[in-house]
Structure 1
């Protein structure tokens, strides 16, 4: 399915539900920019390699480039989200349920942002879509388990590989640089940290941008009466739209999340900040090209934890990490339930 901008605008003019899905999806992208995107450059700020405002600008630019460049080579993550659930054969019911899912994601993400907790918008998106689809179909047949299982794989990869790579990279950097002049080493890692942080932001754009583009295309397919069987193609105009709104969210709410992730969890030296960002980038590359939807927040946080643990176990404020894990654990049933209830409510009026 290849969608021209004119076709999209035509659907907006004739379908109020499509307008609702579009506005809500834009809202979700902005919330994502405020809660997820800042984690990409959190360690760059905490190690004082960059000041918050330039770092946020860097994140916004790299998010845009990552979304644009990577999507030209693979749309695996977008395809997973597009086919993960089935909203049924009634397109009016399906698009109403899709709108309900967007409301659930905004409610959940807004509450997390208010309390300064870096929740995963990726997990919220998956949970909200799943809950709404179950309501639309009336059964668990709404879930395509062959695609949904990639979510589980992504959680395992981001948790264990993120932590493990963070720990290993920090150990290796400390070993190979043990005889270097400390000031010279810090100068090298200062720039390495900025480049690695840009890499995380670049891959965040590719990961999360594709997820939200798939929701846009799903809404267009349902509005046009095509269902979910259409072949997925990502238009450049949609990449630009998603990237701009994600950058806007980062500019609005980025600093609150940066402080909670990088400054409250553990104190990082420059080489450790590089290790965390480098490890997170590798995990995101692997997940993106294999179609596993993962959370940048999850990946970056576990990498930071691994780096902190490589120094010593007491270097990590584990309670902060535990609070974050609780949020992740609650997201699937919590946001999924909100998506289900919102869909049931919306369906009462059609």
Structure 2
């Protein structure tokens, strides 16, 4: 029992480290545009995003339920105490690698890939819940970037039409204030979707260890994940801010408002359906959609292509690392 408790405590700690890196990595999703357009200083933007990520983490549990029971069947992996740990190692490795490279990849799909890789290493190819993964992961993986692009494009076209006779300086002055609201909206929706993923992984660990039977999310799990996400956000992700704010499309306040509003709407809709989508995918394609509404040549499609490559690699790369970690931990006799 003593070893059991120590291992479970370590897994919870590693999960919170992942949540922290998720906040640091993905904080750029909420603040890149507002910093790049110089509406807020980096320090002010990060503090605002940290507080609202914290708030958003308490607003729902639908995504946590999906991660806790919809990626792998808890009944098939109960008793495999190193499965969650291996999944987290795979996800953290990919998070840190892409963070270091300044690539806005998906922490969400790194975690899902880690879970799938560890589950396959333990129980074979039958361990993942493929029907749920198709419905809750694969379809949102494809649809959320498309929705982000479409919403960003349409909102920007609508704003351009509405303010076609206004002076550009007047428009940007007005949207500097409105962009603070859209950035706050984005930060809250990010916390709602992303913090829940770690809640789900910790709750799955509790089920595997026999601490609880169902995947209901305990309050202490919600609180600890919300705090870890908020602290990670406070660290910021400046390389990714630079990529998101400058390398895809040169943003002005009206563009930032359109991209953040579009992405936030998509993320909130997905969260309500329990789909653990990538906030990174969504805001990136929203920025691309906003840029394309001006003219397609305004978007640096080479950078956008590099982002797509990183997205495609995320699940298999994190899954492979997680599977290798599982094999190594098993050989060492841990768990």
1:282 to 2:269 alignment: no
The two structures have a TM-score, normalised by structure 2, of 0.94
What is the CA–CA distance in structure 1 between the aligned matches of 2:248 and 2:2, rounded to whole Å?
A: 44
Query: Which position in structure 2 is the counterpart of 1:15?
Result: 5
The CA distance in 1 between the partners of 2:238 and 2:304, in whole Å, is 19
1:201 is aligned, of 173, 187, 201, to: 187
Q: Give the distance between the partners of 1:243 and 1:305, measured in 2 at CA.
A: 30
Matched, 1:294 2:269: no
**1:46 aligned to 2:46?**
no
CA distance in 1, matches of 2:127, 2:78: 14
Match of 1:323 among 290, 303, 306: 306
Query: How far, CA to CA, are the matches of 1:256 and 1:23 in structure 2?
Result: 26
TM norm structure 1: 0.90
Give the aligned CA root-mean-square deviation in angstroms: 1.8
Matches for 1:172-183 after TM superposition, within 5 Å: 172-183=158-169
Could you tell me which residue of structure 2 aligns to residue 147 of structure 1?
132
Corresponding residue for residue 72 of structure 2: 85
CA offsets 1:212-256 (integer angstroms, 9 cap, x no match): 001111111222265xxx333233332221122122222224222
Give the drift of 1:109: 1.0
Structural mapping, 1:42-121, within 5 Å: 42-68=32-58, 70-71=59-60, 75-83=61-69, 84-86=71-73, 89=76, 91-93=78-80, 95-121=81-107
Q: 1:24 to 1:192 in 2, by over 3 A?
A: same
Instruction: State whether residues 60 and 246 of structure 1, in contact with CA within 8 Å, keep that contact through their aligned partners in structure 2.
Output: yes
Q: 1-side partners of 2:77 and 2:314: how far apart?
A: 28
Determine the C-alpha separation between the residues in 1 that align with 2:2 and 2:141: 35
Counterpart contact for 2:117–2:319, Cα < 8 Å: yes
1:13 Cα offset (Å): 8.1
Q: Secondary structure at the match of 1:221?
A: helix
- Structure 1: state its 5+ residue gaps: 1-10
Give distance in 2, aligned partners of 1:174 and 1:293: 32
Aligned equivalents of 1:283, 1:32: Cα separation in 2 = 19
Counterparts of 1:232 and 1:225, CA distance in 2: 11
The 4+ residue runs of structure 1 with deviation greater than 4 A are: 11-14, 87-90
Q: Go from structure 1 to structure 2 and tell me whether the alpha carbon gap of 1:176 and 1:35 turns closer, same or farther (over 3 Å shift).
A: same
Residue ranges of structure 2 left out of the alignment (5+ in a row): none
- 1:8 corresponds in structure 2 to none
SS, match of residue 141 in structure 1: coil
Number of the residue aligned with 2:154: 168
Deviation at 1:202, TM superposition (A): 0.4
Superposed displacement of residue 182, structure 1: 3.5
- d(CA) in 1 for partners of 2:250 and 2:62? 36
1:213 aligns with 2:203: no
1:188: how far off?
2.4
Deviation at 1:92, TM superposition (A): 3.8
Partner residue of 1:332?
315
Alignment of 1:308 onto 2:291: yes
State the aligned residue count: 331
Deviations 1:3-29 (A, max 9, x none): xxxxxxxx8885222122112111111
Please name the residue that 1:244 is paired with: 227
Deviations along 1:301-340, whole A, 9 cap, x unmatched?
Answer: 0000000011111111111111111111111111111111
Distance 2:63 2:2 in 1: 26
Matched, 1:31 2:17: no
